[in-house]
Each structure stands twice: as C-alpha cells, then as structure tokens.
C-alpha cells in the first residue's frame, strides 16, 4: 500500500490509539473496545480502515477475530519518512559545515 493510505488511516486519533494498542499485543475486538472511547462496532469500523490500508491483519481463533499489526504495513510510510529525514539531515550537515568554514 502507498504511504498516503497509511498516513490517512493513522490521521484519526482513535485509529492511532487502536493501532498502538495492537502494536503492544494482538487483541480481539471486544478487548480493544473496552479500552476505547468508542463502541465495539466503531472499533470494528476503525479496524477495517486500518486493514484496508494494510496496517493490520486478522486471524480467526474460534469465534473471535484477533487483530495484530502487519510489520510490513508501515514499510512504505517508513521509506517516505526516511527519504525526507535523510534530506533534512543532509541540509543540516551542509549548514553546519558551511558555518564551520566561515569561522576558520
């Protein structure tokens, strides 16, 4: 999935909270809903958005669905951030090196 979908999915504070909860440990919807400020159906809807963005996966365990973070789900977003971070750091190094040359 493209990094835009990940950014869009994680832009919502409740979805971010859900994502962070399952990043700590895989959890069923019911357990997630107990610790969220929204209803169980709303948690399910948020999980669908996260799943469609490729950020979470689901496995069936009897009658329960257990949600977990897809490790590769953040890869596109991380590559995008790393590229921009590298550019920022390169410009910072150029700025520092340019100022050091002026002091000599």
Hey, what domains does the chain have and what are their CATH numbers?
3-96 (1.10.10.10)
Q: Which residues make Cβ contacts (< 8 Å) with residue 47, sequence separation at least 6?
A: 18, 29, 32, 56, 58, 67
Whether residue 99 is predicted with pLDDT greater than 70 in this model: the reply is no
9-61 pLDDT tens trace: 999 999 999 999 999 999 999 999 999 999 999 999 999 999 999 999 999 99
pLDDT tens-digit profile of 63-91? Answer: 999 999 998 888 888 888 888 777 777 77
């Amino acid at each position: 999935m493209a990094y835009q979908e990940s950014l869009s999915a994680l832009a919502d504070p409740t979805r971010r909270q859900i994502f962070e909860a399952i990043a700590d440990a895989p959890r069923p919807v019911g357990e997630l809903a107990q610790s969220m400020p929204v209803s169980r159906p709303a948690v399910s809807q948020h999980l669908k958005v996260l799943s469609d963005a490729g950020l979470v996966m689901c496995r069936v365990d009897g009658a329960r669905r257990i949600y977990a973070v897809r490790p590769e789900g953040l890869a596109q977003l991380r590559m995008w951030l790393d590229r921009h971070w590298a550019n920022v750091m390169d410009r910072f190094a150029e700025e520092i090196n340019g100022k050091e040359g002026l002091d000599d």
